[in-house]
Structure 1
Amino acid sequence: MSVRFKPVPEPPDGLEAVAGVAAAVPAESNATASDADCCSRLVERTDVEGREAAATWLTFLRALELVETERDTYRRTANDVDPESLRTAFRSRVRDVPTVLEVLEDSTTGLEVATVTRRVRDRSTERTVGRSHREPDDCAEWAVRVERLLEWATLFGLVERTGDGNGSTVRYRRERADR
């Protein structure tokens, strides 16, 4: 099984923002630059706020194969911010994405975040009994993570958000072309 990355930053409004954050990572690794230097660089050059958010972004960009580590520093890869490549990496390299998509598979009307969260948490707990990695401790932590995954999946065209506006309940469902 390949490595799945867990950190998921707050989703931006568009892929241009992803490209902007990735572009802020140096193209060449610098043996004297530390993780903190890369985080500072993201905060200074993008809309990313704070070191913790920058560290989350760096890990997420690694999952999307836009950034890699070399000699304990980060460097930007030559990969473009291509929607199809991002979808593929997101599905295969970000933890819980396959489960989120499975949960949405059979819903034609869409599911609310709370329902998706409960089902993902139940399935994840079933799969990880006896394993040593840390799961989110509470429902609020799970809800934030799952909502972020849903919004990233929406940005990448894997999921459709419905009911947005006019006081409607927001629901998510799989994109028709992606099924």
Structure 2
Amino acid sequence: MRLKPVPEPPSDLDALREYQRAVPLVPGDTDDCCARLRRRCDLPDRRTANDWLAFLRALGLVEETSRGFVRADAEPTRERVRAGLEEGVLFVPEALAALDEASPGDPLTAADLFAATRDAVPRHDRARNPDWETAWRERASRLLGWLALVGLAAPVDGDPEASGSDPGYVAGDAL
């Protein structure tokens, strides 16, 4: 199962480690874990904390047990985050395929990624949010940021006259 939440990417993997460390070593229920994440990582609300909890689980940095969530005994290395993104986050395979087809002259933007995945956005997300298109475009932008963080995407300098436009990306390096 691939998870939908994609929080704003941190500046580096050390910052990601702080989010992971906010999850307890002793299992805690969702409310307790979200409260810790909010407090320790200065998150604005429970929903944002819950998104981080789900995303950390998708990356293999948090585990869900019968007694609640617990910090996994795993470091947020570049390789682990890459694997977690590829295996556990919705639309990563589609993004990687689109990045492979992108070129510096025609890079992939968040708008392009949204257009490529628009028809696959879960129906219930469309029904519950009247502005679902904006939300999923923003998610595409954050997803490309995560892929760039771990080298699966590389930003391309855009047209200086197109200020305010989405940054473009091409496939990043391969390990």
Normalised by the size of structure 2, how large is the TM-score?
A: 0.85
Instruction: Tell me whether 1:173 sits opposite 2:163 in the alignment.
Output: no
Residues 83 and 136 of structure 1: is their aligned pair in 2 closer, same or farther, counting only changes over 3 Å? farther
**CA RMSD across the alignment:** 2.2
1:118 partner amino acid? A
SS at match of 1:6: coil
Given that 1:104 and 1:116 are in contact with CA atoms closer than 8 Å, whether structure 2 keeps it comes out as no
Shift of 1:154: 0.7
The one of 98, 113, 117 equivalent to 2:114 is: 117
Given that 1:8 and 1:145 are in contact with CA atoms closer than 8 Å, whether structure 2 keeps it comes out as yes
Q: Which moved more, 1:159-168 or 1:112-121?
A: 159-168
Given that 1:136 and 1:142 are in contact with CA atoms closer than 8 Å, whether structure 2 keeps it comes out as no
Shift of 1:72: 4.4
Shift of 1:135: 4.3
SS at match of 2:124: coil
Cα distance in 1, alignment partners of residues 126 and 77 from structure 2 = 31
1:18 partner amino acid? L
Shift of 1:67: 0.3
The one of 89, 103, 127 equivalent to 2:98 is: 103
In percent, how many aligned pairs have the same letter? 33
Cα distance in 2, alignment partners of residues 134 and 167 from structure 1 = 38
Cα distance in 2, alignment partners of residues 73 and 49 from structure 1 = 22
Given that 1:9 and 1:148 are in contact with CA atoms closer than 8 Å, whether structure 2 keeps it comes out as yes
Given that 1:103 and 1:120 are in contact with CA atoms closer than 8 Å, whether structure 2 keeps it comes out as no
Shift of 1:23: 0.5
Shift of 1:49: 2.2
Instruction: Tell me whether 1:148 sits opposite 2:142 in the alignment.
Output: yes
For 1:73-93, what per-residue CA distance to the aligned partner results, in whole angstroms no more than 9, with x for missing partners? Answer: 110010111111110111111
1:134 partner amino acid? H
Gapped runs of 5+ residues in structure 1? none
Residues 164 and 106 of structure 1: is their aligned pair in 2 closer, same or farther, counting only changes over 3 Å? closer
Gapped runs of 5+ residues in structure 2? none
For 1:2-51, what per-residue CA distance to the aligned partner results, in whole angstroms no more than 9, with x for missing partners? Answer: x111111111111111100100111121xxx4311111111111132221
